[in-house]
Amino acid sequence: GWCPLSPTGAQTSQVLVEPPWRPAVLWDQVTLTCQGSGTTGATTWYKDGQPWEQEGSNFTVTKNGDYTCDRPGTNQSPYMRVSNDRLVLQVPARPLLEGDTVTLRCRG
Q: What is the mean pLDDT of residues 13-31?
A: 94
Q: Tens digit of pLDDT for each residue in 45-82? A: 999 999 998 888 999 999 999 999 988 878 899 999 99
Which pLDDT score, from 0 to 100, does residue 48 have? 97
pLDDT at 86: 94
The sheet with strand 14-18 has its strands ordered as: 14-18, 31-35, 58-60
- What's the rounded Cα separation, in Å, for the pair 6 and 10? 6
> Residue 10 — pLDDT band, cuts 50, 70, 90?
low
Can you tell me the distance from the alpha carbon of 67 to that of 90, in angstroms, rounded to the nearest whole number? 18
Around 50, how many Cα atoms within 13 Å sit in the side-chain half-sphere? 4
Alpha helices in 1-102 (DSSP H): none
Beta-ladder partners of 82 = 24, 65
Domain segments of the chain as ranges: 14-107
Between 68 and 95, whose confidence is greater? Answer: 68
pLDDT in tens, 28-55: 999 999 987 765 568 999 999 999 988 8
- Domain 14-107 is classified in which CATH homologous superfamily? Immunoglobulins (2.60.40.10)
Partnered with residue 60 across adjacent β-strands are: 31
